[in-house]
Structure 1
Amino acid sequence: MEQTNASWSKTALTYGIYLGLISILYSVILYVAGQIGNQALGYVSYIFIIGIIIWAMITYRDKLNGGYMSYGTGVGLGFMTALVGGILGSIFAYVLFAIIDPSLPEQLLGKALEEAIAKNPEVEQNLDMVEGMMRKMMSPTAIAIMGVVSSAIGGIIISLILAAIFKKDKPMFEEAQAE
C-alpha cells in the first residue's frame, strides 16, 4: 500500500514538472510573440493542463498500479500535478515580470484600463481607484500568487471531472484475494 502512495505522488511530481516546463515554454512563446495578456491564448493553457493530467492518470492507472485507480487517488494525483505545474509556472511568471521585463506589469495595466473603460465608460469617473486596485493585482508577487491559487482551484475542478472518467476500481473479489 505504501508503494502505491509513493508512486502516485512521484507520478504527480513528475507530470507536474512536465506541466510546469510546458507552461514556461508557452509563456516564453507568448512573451516573444508579444501576446502576454491575450486572454484567448491564455485559455489555451487549459488544454495543456487537461492533457498532462490525463496523461498522468492513465500512466499511473495503467503502468504503475495494475490498471486500477480509485476516484480519490485520481483527484489527488490531478490536483498535485496541477499544483506543482502552477508553482513552477508562477515562479517563472515572477521572474519574467520582476526581472526579465519589469515593464510588463505597466503594459498589462494600461491594456486592462483601456478594456475596462471600453466595456464600461463609467469606470473613467473612478479611474484612480480602479487603477490603484489593478496596480496591486499586476505586481509580480500578486501575479505569482494568483497563478498558484488559480492552478490549485482549476486543478481540483479539472481533477474532479477527469478522475470520474479515468477511475477504475478493483473488482471486489480481487480486493479480498489481495488481503
Structure 2
Amino acid sequence: MEKQGNPMLKHSMNYGLIMGVALIILSLITYLAGIVKPPFWVSIINYAIIIGIIVWGTKKYRDEVLEGAITYGNALGFGVLITLFAGVIVAVFTYIQITLIDPDFVSKMLAIAEEELVKRGMPDEQIEMAIEMQKKFMSPLIMTISSLLGMVVMGFIFSLITSIFLKKEKSSFAGDSEVIE
C-alpha cells in the first residue's frame, strides 16, 4: 500500500497558493493604477479575499477530505496554514516588488509619511526623527518579514472567528455517519 502525504498540508498549500496569487493580483492592480498608499476599500477587498478563501478552503477540506466533520482546532489550524503559505508567497512578491519592480517604493512611502506629518503640524525636528525611525523599518528584508508575520497573525484572527462557524463534530451517540453542528 502506497503511503500518501498529509492531506491537510497538501490542501492548505493549494488554497494558500490561490490566496497568495489573488492578493498579488490585487496588489498589482493597485500598483498599475498608480496607487502608492491604497485607500480603505482596497483593505476591505484584501480582507474579503483572505476570509473568503479561509472559509472556502476549510469547508472543502472538511466536506471532501474529513467526510463532513472538523473540530474547532483543526479548522483553526487549517486556516492558519492557508495564510502561512499565502504569506510566504506574498512575502516573496513583496521583496521582488521592493527590490526589482519598484526600487523607489520605500522613498515614495517615506514621502507620503512626511507629507502627513507636515499636515499634522509637527515641528521639523520631530518630522526628521520620525522619518529616520521609519527608514529603519522600511528595509526590503524587514518589510518582507513583517508582510509574512502580518499575514499569519491576520489568518490566525480570521480563523479564530471562521472556525466557530465551520466546525462540525461527529456525534459520539449516533453512528459515524451523523454529524452535529
Task: Give the count of matched residue pairs.
Answer: 172
Give the partner amino acid of 2:141. Answer: T
Secondary structure of 1:66's partner?
coil
| Alignment match, 2:131 | 131
Q: Could you tell me which runs of 5 or more consecutive residues in structure 1 were left unpaired when the two chains were aligned.
A: none
Whole-Å separation in 2 of the counterparts to 1:152 and 1:67: 26
Q: Cα distance, 1:39 vs. partner?
A: 4.0
C-alpha distance after superposition, 1:42-90 (max 9, x if no partner): 3421111001101111101111111111100000000010111111011
Aligned-pair identity (%): 30
Give the partner amino acid of 1:130. Answer: A
Counterpart contact for 1:53–1:78, Cα < 8 Å: yes
Counterpart contact for 1:27–1:36, Cα < 8 Å: no
2:179 is the alignment partner of 1:166: no
Alignment of 1:20-35 (within 5 A): 20-35=20-35
Give the partner amino acid of 2:82. Answer: T
Counterpart contact for 2:16–2:85, Cα < 8 Å: yes
C-alpha distance after superposition, 1:28-51 (max 9, x if no partner): 111100113214123421111001
Q: Could you tell me which runs of 5 or more consecutive residues in structure 2 were left unpaired when the two chains were aligned.
A: 177-181
Alignment of 1:44-55 (within 5 A): 44-55=45-56
| Alignment match, 2:116 | 115
Secondary structure of 2:70's partner?
coil
Give TM-score, length-normalised by structure 2: 0.88
Alignment of 1:91-102 (within 5 A): 91-102=92-103
Which structure has greater helix proportion?
1
C-alpha distance after superposition, 1:2-22 (max 9, x if no partner): x99922221111100111111
